[in-house]
Chains A and B, each alone.
Chain A
């Protein structure tokens, strides 16, 4: 088990180095960084000075190693537009994105699993068919459209919820949270629904399909032949088997939730990393783009690792194979 975890961790580091190469190459291929910093009338000598002070004259390999070493310590350089360290900007924006993504995922998991189980167990009822139809809308409507529709309904027409921003936030150390104030919570509702809707419908359809599959298996039939209660069969035996693939998908989806947050954050002007990234793209602020790429990859890779380990906790058969191959 330990060897398995270690091996996966080493693989994860390999992936991160590859990502580092890609984000480093952005600096080299997306134009001359010196031009981004200076104005038109800066002299050539001054330009050369800046170039030397930034270490841009060094061999590529030296520059790359320096970049990796710095990135590993979360030093991503200085943003061109804000003139502030990128790490500080990300640190300031990250709580907003993570809170939004976590809320969206929790919403998606709770409602997705509940609706999926209901649709599988009562699949001929009107409500189950309604869920199925609604889930089609959730899967096919683009995120920004859902966000705008929600804003129109709940913020503009009904005036119940704010249409943009994060509301009041409370600082806890360097972290800021909107979960402790009423306005923060209210501001979280619409973006979370917007961001989580796609995941929810995905999880619902997955749970439904998996559960129907599991209910047809021999061990469920044998469980019924043993006279177990319907509840024990459905929620003890069937649901646990259903959740094995659901954990993987939901875990991997958390990464996409953070990535998708770019759109939701733009629609709701949510002060998170995604919004920062969109602004950075508009201003060709490469240090921010590169750092965002690394941060999102880091989150993805970490989630993958956790999902792999969780998997073996839920399914004893994998524990055995893991033990044999290591």
Chain B
């Protein structure tokens, strides 16, 4: 097996507040291979976005990386000096944010923003960069790109703006794209187009994609593997088919049970009782134990580590020994 494009080991991110230190990410590990799409799901506040920002090195104070390592194609990037990390951002890691309406600087033509980004990461001349910008706009599906390149962001619709944002994210052909809820702010019909676009770009260029979303439908459609996050930890990670059809972690089970289906004749959707703990009040042991129907004594004292179970890695004591599963 070749080296993964992105390899995260035991990453922790803390936010220092006046009263305490809040741990937003608590020792997560995952890999993304070349051309692979990893979906990251979880509720709001589970640490999905923070993980994305940590990888691209945009955690601002009072937040800080407090442990672990991040490797990009074998190069350790979590402890690089700011200037070297800047050169990697945009060139080797592209990022797409949630709201295309606010991601573009309203005072600059989109062409200027593209040319500026291209020239920051290459030695292309102004005219060559402009030509490349037009090609990029065509690639992300902007009609009449040679004319639209001189338009301002407010002259585009939301979906078109997200295409421009994607063009900006891929303009230096990065190895990794982090898409942080790229479709949340868009209409459903436009969502499908954007998802198809990200998928196609990943396939055509062999780009690894980290797709952060809370939309299981998007994950099921796009991802090769999926990581389910819960209060700053990875609860379960595995191939998307297995995790969706046969979730192991009780939280993942609840999450999949909460997806409405047209075929099913269930009267009510499954709810997970309670809500995710605040960062300042994470319970000892497994952070899911207060909401878990299968929790037992060990869950309240000992934190479960991820362990392989078939194709899936799951952080749950239920799967530690077969005996406990039956006991539960």
Give A residues with C-beta under 8 Å from B: 217-219, 221-230, 232, 236-237, 240-241, 244, 314-317, 320
Contact = CB atoms under 8 A, between A and B. Distances in A.
7 contacts: A219-B104, A224-B58, A226-B168, A240-B107, A316-B152, A317-B106, A317-B154
For A225, A229, A230, which residue has the most chain B Cβ atoms within 10 angstroms?
Answer: A225
A225 B58 contact: yes
Interface residues of B, number: 31
Nearest to B172: A227
B253 interface: no
Contact of B107 (A222, A229, A315): A315
B106 A222 contact: no
B90 A225 contact: yes
Contacts of B121: 227
B140 to A, nearest CB: 15
Contact of A226 (B107, B152, B169): B169
Contacts of B152: 316-317, 320
Interface stretch (B67-75, B91-99, B255-263, B304-312): B91-99
A217 B168 CA distance: 17
B97 A225 contact: yes
A221 B58 contact: yes
B324 interface: no
Contact of B103 (A218, A229, A240, A315): A218
A227 B174 CA distance: 12
Interface of B: 56, 58, 86-91, 94-95, 97, 99, 102-109, 116-117, 120-121, 152, 154-155, 165, 168-169, 172
Nearest to A316: B152
A227 B155 contact: no
Contact of B117 (A221, A226, A240): A226
A228 to B, nearest CB: 6
Nearest to A321: B154
A147 to B, nearest CB: 39
The 6 closest A-B pairs by CB, nearest first: A227-B90, A227-B89, A218-B102, A225-B95, A226-B90, A316-B152
Contacts of A244: 107
Contacts of A241: 105-107
A228 B116 contact: yes
